Amino acid sequence: MTLESFKILTTGTKRGFGKFIAKKLNTHKFDRNSKLNGLDKNYDVIIHCANNSSKNILSKNFYKFSYDNYFLTEDLLKLNVKHFIFISSIGIYPQSNKVFNEKSNFEVKTRNFYEFFKIMNENYIKKNSKKFTILRVAGLLDKSSRKNSIQRIVYNENKKISLSSNSTLNYILYEDLLNFIKIVIKKKKFGIFNVSASKNIKLINLRNYLKSDNIRFGDYDYITPKIDNTKAKKEYAELNSTSYQNIKKYLKMIKK
């Protein structure tokens, strides 16, 4: 089957990767202004990218915040979908020098609501769906992606970032995740995949390489563990690239 023959719904299509993939694959769209009761109940695939990244949540707004990040998943799974793809994060793994793969059993030490709800969603999906794919995704880079620490270093912004110089991060491109999802849909690949670069990058090394002398580092050590992406690499060889190599690809992209 070609991708065009699949009836696909993408959530979180106002911005970010959800907007990107919905346009690339010409999918049906669902955003925070959409109504669940207006959706078809016979999608071949749902790509669930939506999340609420608001900060400083007031108590009176916490249910809405929780719905966007968790309970929406419950409602989407009630639709008669043949393949549910959930965009999770490698951020659910604890800060450690250990190596983590998809079968690792680890102590939950989430640093924020984003990571907390990702692991909540994963557990709910595994319990309530048989035909699911959970993608534990690294940081994402694209011309249209929300500005992050890596991009601030790339652009040599004259400001201080919260992360320390010893922090380590892992990055792939929007295009990598798009291509991996295409494979997952076409080949009906179910289960959990670490969709990441093959190696992390230390921020001080990136700053020195780029000569981004305007950047000042903070005190927060964010240590990304070593991610074993062997399972995903077997499906998509581009994931052999390191974070450093992916950042070089991003640099070429933004210079076009």
Indicate whether 154 belongs to any domain: no
Cα Rg, the chain, nearest whole Å: 18
Indicate whether 180 belongs to any domain: yes
Indicate whether 87 belongs to any domain: yes
Q: Which pLDDT score is estimated for 2?
A: 80
Indicate whether 152 belongs to any domain: no
Indicate whether 214 belongs to any domain: no
Share of the chain above pLDDT 70, in %: 99
* pLDDT at 110 exceeding the cut of 80: yes
**Spatial CA neighbour of 30 closest among 47, 46, 13:** 13
Distance of CA 133 to the CA centre of its chain: 13
Q: Which pLDDT score is estimated for 255?
A: 81
Going by their DSSP bridges, the two strands 201-202 and 83-89 should be labelled as: unpaired
- Domain of residue 90 covers 3-145+170-197+226-240
Spatial distance between the Cα atoms of 220 and 176, rounded to a whole number of angstroms: 29
- Domain with residue 88: its CATH number is 3.40.50.720
Task: For residue 106, give both structure tokens.
Answer: 């680890």
DSSP bridge pairs for 9: 28, 46
* pLDDT at 194 exceeding the cut of 90: yes
pLDDT (tens digit per residue) in 8-45:
999 999 999 999 999 999 999 999 888 888 788 789 99
Indicate whether 209 belongs to any domain: no
At 18, the amino acid letter reads: G
Question: Whole-prediction pTM value?
Answer: 0.95
pLDDT (tens digit per residue) in 59-103:
999 999 999 999 999 999 999 899 999 999 999 999 988 999 999
Count of structural domains, the chain: 1
Residue-by-residue DSSP string for 146-188:
PP-HHHHHHTT-SSB-SB-TT-EE-EEEHHHHHHHHHHHHHHT
Q: Which residue has the tokens 């994060």?
A: 89
Determine whether 87 is exposed, middle or buried from the number of CB atoms within 10 Å of its CB (0-12, 13-18, 19+): buried
Indicate whether 157 belongs to any domain: no
Handedness of CA 209, 213, 216, 219 (dihedral sign): positive
Indicate whether 163 belongs to any domain: no
**Spatial CA neighbour of 199 closest among 155, 157, 247, 166:** 247
Q: Which residue has the tokens 């927060």?
A: 220
Rounded mean pLDDT of 193-199?
A: 99
Rounded mean pLDDT of 97-125?
A: 95
